[in-house]
Structure 1
């Protein structure tokens, strides 16, 4: 297989960007609180130490954080690097990012609102600008073009992480209830494509695997909204029937305890890093 095969197989429908923005606006409150937890802090410290051990985060570094969310990684980098730029598709995520940076009294972070998929490096002056281009669990790295754009923005190193395995027991049961079948799990597809695209483009990514476990806890009304959005994105529109919303609300209402829906997620995450 050549790179043309993976470029053709690994594509994203850019017409979904508005829906993607709405989804991450919905998740902003949760992400801000989760990423501010002790567990989130330990995970970020592990990543920072990993990058430092490979000389990818020098003291004078300029860092680009793609899909920065509420800015937790950007803040970690800003304590060590010279300057950090964080971008995200969600305005609400960036509101939290700005608040968190101000709380830490950091003036070497710049946040920008933009989907990575459509960002023009030349227009921003970002070609070969950054010592480290970083994307942690970022859905914006979803095609060969968006991946290789990371390389084009970097003058030294890149880091990408993503799921290779994931078990969402409640969501899988909900999918079975709504659509009458198990979901088509595609965890690991992006990492598989990324490794092959990088290799065939002349890069040599190092791969490290991490086990992760976390909990989702939502009020029932928030859970209905989020799971409804996720299931409809997982299933082609032609397969969505008119009673989907009713089925989702009914199922989650039955499993909720005192108005709270909980789910434990177990996963394996790949860390990819490479020099450019």
Structure 2
């Protein structure tokens, strides 16, 4: 077994930095409003339980989004470096950190693909490096960077499977097609095998996450169209079909959805 096989799988269908930035900028408002304190605390408790995180450590949060994990980490770590590709996500993150009085977080607008570990002086700088539900680890190079910045533990997580009822109903009823298949868990699968080749045997656990999400009719239309457009070309006629369906199922101008997912948590200690 060698790297070539997995590199070919990894390097397919990777969005450009600009495409990713635009996508996450667009999703920032929705992402910020759908926060689950219970899920955040569950993840950070896991870090403490496994000895990955400890008081006084330096931590880095790669793909920090609206800052919910960085803020929770900052209550334990001495310093947290939190970076994201999306300037709009970081606006929310800074606002959220200010509300919580989290002053030991350094937020950086920085795509992980463009990070130069040596130039930044980040070689083995952090006790703990995490990419929590982040698409930033999408190549062997990006995984090796994650390993390089940590002198202790690394953690990454992602969806193995996810279902949004309204999204699936839109595809079946409004668009008259079967819901599109997405390769959830691909980055974790490829990371695990790459680490194996390096002689690192990562540990994996599985966790279910269920929640209800309520959006305004306008926000729902924008969200579902953006998600569907990433799957395939999305014409004006399809947008009209989505709009009509959402209007039919909305209640007093709001759309309720149920979100169910099985998530993978993977962690290892660098040798």
TM-score, with structure 2 as normaliser: 0.91
What residue is the counterpart of 1:192 in the other structure? 189
Report the secondary structure of 1:134's partner residue.
strand
Mean Cα deviation higher: 143-152 or 126-135: 143-152
C-alpha distance in 2 between matches for 1:271 and 1:124: 28
* Conserved 8 A contact 1:67-1:89: yes
Deviations along 1:224-255, one digit per CA (max 9) or x if unpaired, are 111111111112x4xx4452322222222222
The C-alpha deviation readout for 1:182-210, integer Å capped at 9, x for no partner, is 31232222222221122122221111111
Listed as ranges, the matches of 1:102-251 within 5 Å are 102-176=98-172, 177-178=174-175, 180-235=177-232, 237=233, 240-251=234-245
1:100 aligns with 2:96: yes
Shift of 1:103: 2.5
Q: Quick one: which of 24, 27, 44 aligns to 2:40?
A: 44
Please tell me the root mean square deviation across aligned C-alpha atoms, in Å.
2.0
Does residue 57 in structure 1 map to residue 30 in structure 2? no
Shift of 1:12: 5.8
Partners of 1:3 and 1:201 within 8 A in 2:
no
Distance 2:19 2:244 in 1: 24
- Distance of 1:231 and 1:67 partners within structure 2: 22
Query: Runs of 4+ in structure 1 displaced over 3 angstroms?
Result: 12-16
Conserved? CA contact 2:31–2:66, under 8 Å: yes
The equivalent residue for 1:265 is 259
Corresponding residue for residue 72 of structure 2: 76
Give distance in 2, aligned partners of 1:83 and 1:113: 17
Unaligned runs of 5+ in 1: none
CA distance in 2, matches of 1:199, 1:139: 21
Summarize the Cα distance change of 1:262–1:17 in structure 2 as closer, same or farther, 3 Å threshold: farther
Q: Give the whole-Å Cα distance in 2 for the aligned partners of 1:143 and 1:252.
A: 37
Aligned in 2, Cα 1:180/1:54: closer, same or farther, shift over 3 Å?
closer
Which segment drifts farther, 21-30 or 49-58?
Answer: 21-30
Between 1:85-94 and 1:173-182, the stretch displaced more is: 173-182
Asked if 1:33 is matched to 2:33, the reply is yes
TM-score by length of structure 1 reads 0.89
